[in-house]
């Protein structure tokens, strides 16, 4: 059985992204190529670029797995162990 392409990728990277939007007033679709760095891993997606004044900026979209890890580290995870002691 052939594996899906995403089954063996640890990360996906790009130096630009393409955004497609549908205007809510006209219903027309617009497509833009943006100079935004894209990084996707098991932990989520990071979009990075610059603000209008040239300062670095990032937006992070965390995966469910990453949020679960963060909650565990902050003591907000389940009250029972993940592994059995037996």
Q: Where are the domains of the chain?
A: 8-73
- Tell me phi and psi for residue 22, to 5 degrees: -115, 120
pTM over 0.85: no
Which among 3, 33, 6 has a CA at the least distance from the CA of 17? 33
The answer to whether 37 and 48 have CB atoms below 8 angstroms apart is yes
Sorted by sequence, the CB contacts under 8 Å of residue 50 that are 6+ apart come out as 56, 57
pLDDT per position as a tens digit, 19-78:
999 999 999 999 999 999 999 998 899 999 999 999 999 999 988 888 888 888 887 766
């Amino acid at each position: 059985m052939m594996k899906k392409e995403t089954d063996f990728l640890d990360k996906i990277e790009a130096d630009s992204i393409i955004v497609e939007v549908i205007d809510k007033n006209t219903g027309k679709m617009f497509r833009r190529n943006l100079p935004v760095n894209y990084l996707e891993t098991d932990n989520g997606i990071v979009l990075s670029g610059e603000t209008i004044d040239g300062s670095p900026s990032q937006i992070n979209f965390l995966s469910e797995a990453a949020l679960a890890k963060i909650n565990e580290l902050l003591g907000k995870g389940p009250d029972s162990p993940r592994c059995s002691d037996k």
